[in-house]
Structure 1
């Protein structure tokens, strides 16, 4: 048996319902610091260097985030089915 439940709520409501902390202030500081660091970047190599230095956990965090995004894209495209 399979049951699907859909709940419409904002991200803030979902975070509160699940008991997760509000990290919006820390996120705003992080995004602001990245935006400041990215000013004046002229090539992709510089961008990679800055992103890996500023990312949480350095290069490991960047790779983890990249694999998370790629996995989400595959799942959204129906790529979670076993390949034949």
Structure 2
């Protein structure tokens, strides 16, 4: 014997039938509070100050940035973290 029951109801109606609480008002309030807090904090961000703190001005800053980027690239490849000018001899590649 096979019995099929088909129920046509929305998710909201199913929650009410099962007895689950409606969390939509609480979620809307929480999202509103987070949105207001983000809007208040964005006013304190100064893009110029942010760029100056990340990238120091001058040749030293460019050199430091270049070394940092080189170290990141080398670590991603799995090699050492020194730029090519600091190496005296090339190492032969390992074969697998």
- The TM-score range, normalised by the shorter chain, is 0.3 to 0.5
TM-score, structure 2 normalization:
0.30
TM-score, structure 1 normalization:
0.34
Larger of the two Rg values belongs to structure? 2
